[in-house]
């Protein structure tokens, strides 16, 4: 056999040499290992050195963002993710940033800032990751609106999170009605002290009785159904919605009758005055 032929066969069976990692890659791999062991400060030191060695690798900045996120240093993590995105605007980086913004929003007592953060998280979340994060993100947004005393927006978020499109459409129709109705609308409050919402349904007639001697509110207007007290016309900013009028605002009209038009958000009994 030709010796050269045998040599060539030996050459073919040689295993390819493993690519040697650069200094920055070695540091990066070690930083990832330390991060997995929850040695976050040590990991951060190494990934910073890796970045100093190679400022063009987006994976290093992403790794830095993850480590800072684990340290609870969210504003710094955001900067690291943004630097990664400047180098490579991949779905993986957007996913990491969106997840971090969710955690940051969930940690804040400042609910206005939290709302801005979760809005951004929802906006940048890659479509490919929607199934994994969508429900959680919208539930958090709903809970933030709860804290901000905005029940309408909160309800909308919960419906979106649950994929309840029919209910969302009905809610939008109710909102549109309240904003554009030419009727004088009122809200019946204090129902929990009587019969709850059980007596109320669309079209139910109501009797309105002024109580100028009421020790708590001289503008109070009691609401009755067939002689039974079922609540009072709302007269507090916390119990009023959209174009609904307060007891004080309708007092001069000396109203006697009203009719239920809808139960709004499952908690507000909305009625219209009848002349």
Query: What are the tens digits of pLDDT across the range 250-270?
Result: 999 999 999 999 998 888 899
The mean pLDDT of the chain is 91
Cα–Cα distance, 106 to 69 (Å, whole number): 13
pLDDT given at position 236:
83
Axis crossing angle, helix 91-107 with helix 111-124, rounded to the nearest 10: 160
Query: What are the tens digits of pLDDT across the range 75-133?
Result: 999 999 999 999 999 999 999 999 999 999 999 999 999 999 999 999 999 999 999 99
CA 101, 172, 250, 201 dihedral sign is negative
Question: Are 89 and 124 a contacting pair, CB within 8 Å?
Answer: no
Residue among 193, 197, 183, 192 nearest 264 (CA): 197
Cα–Cα distance, 113 to 106 (Å, whole number): 11
E strand or H helix that includes residue 147: helix 130-147
Cα–Cα distance, 180 to 45 (Å, whole number): 60
Query: What are the tens digits of pLDDT across the range 179-217?
Result: 899 999 999 999 999 999 999 999 999 999 999 999 999
What CATH class does 176-274 carry? alpha beta
Q: Where are the domains of the chain?
A: 23-161, 176-274
Specify the CATH architecture of the domain 23-161.
Alpha Horseshoe (1.25)
Neighbouring residues of 74: CB distance < 8 A, sequence distance ≥ 6 = 68, 100, 103, 104, 107
Q: How many CB atoms lie within 10 A of CB 246?
A: 18
Cα–Cα distance, 19 to 260 (Å, whole number): 77
- Look at 5-9, 28-32, 105-109 and tell me which has the smallest mean pLDDT: 5-9
Q: Is the pLDDT of residue 17 over 60?
A: no
């Amino acid at each position: 056999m030709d010796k050269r032929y045998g040599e060539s066969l030996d050459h073919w069976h040689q295993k390819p040499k493993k690519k040697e990692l650069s200094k920055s890659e070695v540091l990066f791999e070690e930083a990832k290992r330390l991060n997995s062991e929850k040695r976050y400060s040590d990991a951060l030191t190494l990934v910073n050195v890796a970045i100093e060695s190679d400022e063009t690798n987006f994976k290093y900045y992403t790794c830095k963002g993850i480590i800072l996120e684990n340290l609870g240093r969210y504003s710094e993590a955001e900067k690291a993710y943004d630097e990664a995105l400047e180098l490579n605007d991949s779905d993986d980086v957007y996913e990491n940033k969106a997840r971090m913004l969710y955690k940051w929003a969930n940690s804040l007592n400042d609910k206005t800032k939290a709302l801005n953060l979760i809005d951004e998280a929802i906006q940048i979340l890659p479509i490919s990751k929607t199934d994994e994060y969508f429900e959680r993100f919208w539930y958090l947004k709903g809970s933030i609106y709860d804290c901000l005393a905005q029940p309408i927006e909160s309800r909308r978020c919960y419906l979106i999170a649950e994929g309840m499109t029919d209910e969302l459409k009905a809610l939008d129709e109710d909102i549109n009605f309240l904003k554009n109705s030419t009727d004088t609308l009122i809200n019946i409050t204090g129902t929990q002290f009587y019969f709850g919402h059980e007596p109320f349904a669309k079209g139910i007639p109501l009797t309105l009785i002024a109580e100028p001697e009421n020790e708590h509110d001289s503008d109070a207007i009691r609401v009755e159904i067939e002689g039974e007290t079922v609540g009072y016309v709302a007269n507090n900013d916390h119990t009023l919605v959209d174009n609904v009028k307060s007891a004080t605002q309708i007092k001069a009209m000396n109203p006697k009758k009203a009719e239920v038009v809808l139960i709004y958000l499952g908690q507000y009994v909305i009625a219209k005055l009848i002349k």
